[in-house]
Amino acid sequence: MACDCDYVLKKCDVTEEHYGTCSSLLNGRTSKRNPDGSLSLPNENLSKLKGDVMYHLALDNLNFDLPALYGDVKFVVMGGTKYRMREFACYVAELLGLPKDPKSVNHTKASQRFAMYKIGPVLSVSHGIGIPSMTTVLQELIKVMFYAKAKDPIFIRLGTSGGLGIPPGSVVVSSFGLSGTLEKTYELPVLGVIRKWPSYLDKRLSEELVCSASNFDEFKTYVAGTMGADDFYRGQGRLDGPLCDYSEADKMAYLDKLASLGVKNIEMEANAFAAITGEAGVRASIACVTLVDRLQGDQITTPKTVLKEWQKYPMQVVGALIKNYVERKL
C-alpha cells in the first residue's frame, strides 16, 4: 500500500514543535556516532576500565565476544514484559523467514531479571515497569551496542499505555516524552542535584513507523506526545489507587491539560527513553497501544484476550518497519 505519512501526520496535527528545535533528532544523533555508524559514547571513564560488566544483562566485554555476538544488531526493541518480548521475537522470526531460536534462548537468563532474545538483526528485550528499571537495561544495552560496534542501531520501545480521547486499541507513535511536571524533559537527581535532559524522539523514525502503520486498517495510529509517569495511580491522575487526595474534577482538569500539550497517551518510561537515547546518539522511537481511554475511566476492563490482540498492533507496525529495513539492506 502507498505510504500516506503526510496525510496521517497532517491529520495528527504534528508540528516541528513536537520534535523540538534541536531537531538534532536525526542529524544530532547521527553526528554523535562514528563515521561507520558505531556508537561513540561521551564517557571517557569507559576507556579506562579493564573490563566492563553489564550486570543486569549478565554480560561483560572480557568473557563475551560482543562484536561476534551482537555486532550485526540493527534493532533493539524493548517492552515491559518477558512474555511480550518473546512473542515479538517469534513474530519477527516468522516475518523475516528466519528460524525461530529453537530453545527461544534467553540471552540474559543468568541475570534472573530480564529476557533478551536475538533473531537475526533484532534484539527483543524486556525492561520491567517504570523509568528506573527501564533505564538500567537501556543503558546496559547501549553499552553492549557500543562494545559490539553495531552500526547505526535503532532502539524502539513497544509498549502499552492509557489513551487520552482516542479509541482504546489505537497505536500512538511518540514525538516527545513529557515528565510528571509537564516538561519535555527527563529529570534525575545526580550527585545531589536535579538535572534535566530534553526528551524528544527521532522524527524520521516516527514518520517511518507511521508509514508502516498505514499498512494496517484494524487500528488507528496517532503521532503525539507521550507522558512518562513515575507511578501508575496518582502519578497518572487515577482515582482508583489505594490512596487519593484529589477530586474527579481535578483529575479531568489535569488530563485536559495534558491533551492541550499535545499528549495522547500516558505510560511510565517515554521521557527517560527519549532523553537517554538522544544523549547517546541513538535513533529511537516509541510505539504503544492504548488499553483504555482515560477520559472515560481508569480501570482496564477489556477482556485479556482482546488486550492480547491489541498488544499485537504495535508489534505489527514495528515488524513492518524492520522488514522494510532488512529488505532494503539498510
Ligand X SMILES: O=P(O)(O)O[C@H]1O[C@H](CO)[C@@H](O)[C@H]1O
Ligand Y SMILES: O=c1cc[nH]c(=O)[nH]1
Binding footprint of ligand X on the chain (CB under 6 A): 79-80, 129-130, 159-160, 232, 267-269
Nearest residue to ligand Y on Cβ basis: 162
Closest approach, Cβ 295 to ligand X, in A, equals: 18
C-alpha 265/C-alpha 289 separation (Å) is 9
Helix axes 24-31, 270-280, angle to 10 degrees: 50
Q: Is the dihedral of CA 10, 14, 19, 21 positive or negative?
A: positive
Q: Which of 197, 216, 232, 233 touches ligand Y by CB under 6 A?
A: 232
Using rule CB under 6 A, residue 213 touches ligand Y: no
CB of 310 to ligand X, least distance (A): 11
Binding site for substrate, by residue number, is 236, 238
Scanning residues 155 to 184, which ones bind ligand Y (CB under 6 A)? 160-162
Query: Smaller CB distance to ligand Y: residue 292 or 321?
Result: 292
The residue behind cell 538500567 is 136
What CA–CA distance (Å, rounded) separates 198 from 327? 33
Q: How far apart are CA 51 and CA 71, in angstroms?
A: 18
Annotated binding site: 113, 157-160, 236, 238
- Closer residue to ligand Y (CB): 270 or 284: 270
Three-class SS state of 276: helix
- Closer Cβ to ligand X, 38 or 316, answer by number: 316
> How many whole angstroms separate alpha carbon 126 and alpha carbon 116?
7
Our CB check for ligand X shows the closer of 130 and 169 to be 130
The cell for 126 is 524486556
The CA dihedral of 143, 148, 151, 155, to the nearest 10 degrees, is -40
Nearest to ligand Y of 207, 269 (CB atom): 269
Q: How far is the CB of 205 from ligand X (least distance, A)?
A: 18
Window 258-297: contact mask with ligand Y (x via CB under 6 A): --------xxx----------------------xx-----
Q: Which residues of 231-240 are buried (b: 16+ CB within 10 A; e: fewer)?
A: ebebbbbbee
Interface with ligand Y by CB under 6 A: which residues? Answer: 160-162, 232, 236, 266-268, 291-292
